[in-house]
A and B are shown apart, each in its own frame.
Chain A
């Protein structure tokens, strides 16, 4: 609230000296496009551009142990080390893409289905919507802890449920081959509601006429969805993929909360983000970690660029 105090006193002071006030107003009016954008630009500069430039600089040095220790400029050596690392880096890239890809497909498909169900008004609609949004508002670490208990191989609820229907116990998060799939399931559970929200907003803004016309022409529900609704919804679907995709690529919280540093004893859920975290906070290899982060940043930018291009093509 203290933020509001200066403008008032500034206005009062300005009232006492009209000349200065007019002078400032003139200047402000002439430069308003810069003036209004200044806080945002300062924000971007300090909190985005500077850290990014610093990371880029660190990635070209052998910084390790302490960031204040003397470092040597080693050019692209960190990048060569990272790109030739088939034990940790490339598997992490693979896991990041697998995690994002599968989670996205499931979330968009499920999200579309649920959005279609909620599209038309029905009794108790509000309650259903609130229930669907619940996973979205839970904090990821709490979600991680909750699923960790449910999926515990010995005392967890999931295996008790399986036992009740006669299916043998599964290792879930503890299994080398099942851990990644389980975390994908958790991500889908938590983030499908967000996709539903976006798609529902898109659906409600669609005009009724094309659908009605198709109905008059005798198109069945499937035909109307695949040839009318979906093409019209495509820009919204791509926005949903874009937003969710960036987030899924950067997933860290549920992975760390369920499997800890290094993504498990076999690095079974170690994505690029978890790997970079381990490099800086566990190994203190800041140069190498920065190189991983810069490459990761390029992967994100690259995939988003491809999607934006696709969106443009669809919009045309």
Chain B
């Protein structure tokens, strides 16, 4: 009896430890390759919703099966950090942010070289892609990604408040400040202006102000310029708008969902944000100001109106994937002219010149937004954050003076110390 029970326990123990080992093993890539499965990882986005609905169409025409993983932005980054770092082949196609992760991923060899693939199909037409987005998905002369979504910073404003105050849509930064001031004074419960305030989150939206004041994060030789006179002015202006005419008790942690919520709750008159998020403001289900929101190009600073014009997301193939040809087939389908046009009609600004030339491509956009986008695309700057490898850290450094300015601290001194830290950071990246 005793022996039997020992046997029983030993067998259970052995089986259990085997079970554990089985849990640890990943699914083999060879299976996926043979059965024609493409594993696609995408971010939560309007673009993804459109693609998701159309996937059966791709599966039918290609005979491949798509395994889709969909994650929030931060979770997606963490997933890539873990899986790509481990050299995992569990991802074939990945949606990534060329300006945020592109350089680091390319440097680490996570992205497959697509140069010969993009030029092989003239019908798909790589030449149709706008120059800025292509530059951002190219690393060391090799194409490593295909842009899917582009965005520019535009001015969201409340037509009713402007009309009530007898004001015109501001064309310059001074006019914007004066209008924000006038509206805040006339409506104490409404902020004149709102925008992102989080140290890291605000950097991209601040960048257009920086360029419009004549500054940039670095000069042509790659040296820090965040303490130039123009940069200091831009920091003081952006922070000052929020400090003086922003919401009461303004948080310094706001990214777009928080800032957008204030605007769409009807608590702010002006809001500068990426155009690709416009549906949040015009959809009556999400916005109380859907009827009264207007759009305009970013007001001009001393150096003109220079918003960023960037590809916010792209698709790439995992270098470690054993399924690269099928992965490319998926990308080719998802980024075709037809799909790009369909996505653009659903509210996702595309990177192809043809969809902007086609009147059907802008038919679903509010007229003033389409005009603002066209103007921004003309004067746009191709980056909205420092172009470095460790973008996360760089954003924290150059974002410091924004927060200092919003909280009423000495923004000029903060820009000086950010300059020292940023230069040190840039030097360390060169090593």
Contact = CB atoms under 8 A, between A and B. Distances in A.
A binds B: yes
Interface of A: 2-7, 10-11, 14, 21-22, 24-25, 28-29, 32, 35-36, 38-39, 42-43, 46, 65-69, 153-155, 159, 169, 171, 173-174, 176, 259-262, 264-266, 278, 280-284
B78 A284 contact: no
A6 B18 contact: yes
Given A32-B6, A260-B198, A265-B197, A65 B108 contact: yes
Given A3-B15, A266-B403, A260 B253 contact: yes
A39 B16 contact: yes
Interface in B19-63: 19-20, 24
A261 B200 contact: yes
Interface residues of B, number: 56
Nearest to B394: A283
Contacts of A2: 19
Interface in B237-257: 247-253, 255
Contact of A6 (B2, B15, B86, B261): B15
Q: Which 8 A-B pairs have the closest CB atoms?
A: A174-B251, A153-B249, A7-B11, A282-B392, A66-B108, A265-B199, A6-B15, A265-B252
B13 A39 contact: yes
B8 A11 contact: yes
A38 B107 CA distance: 43
Contact of A66 (B3, B18, B19, B85): B85
A285 to B, nearest CB: 8
Given A6-B11, A7-B11, A7-B15, A171 B251 contact: yes
21 contacts: A7-B12, A11-B8, A22-B3, A24-B7, A25-B3, A35-B9, A36-B9, A36-B13, A66-B108, A66-B109, A67-B85, A68-B87, A153-B249, A173-B251, A176-B407, A259-B253, A265-B199, A265-B403, A280-B81, A283-B390, A284-B104
B267 interface: yes
B198 A284 contact: no
Q: What is the predominant secondary structure among interface residues of chain B facing chain A?
A: helix
Nearest to A174: B251
Given A154-B248, A264-B252, A28 B15 contact: no
Nearest to B13: A39
Given A4-B15, A66-B85, A154-B262, A35 B10 contact: yes
Contacts of A280: 81
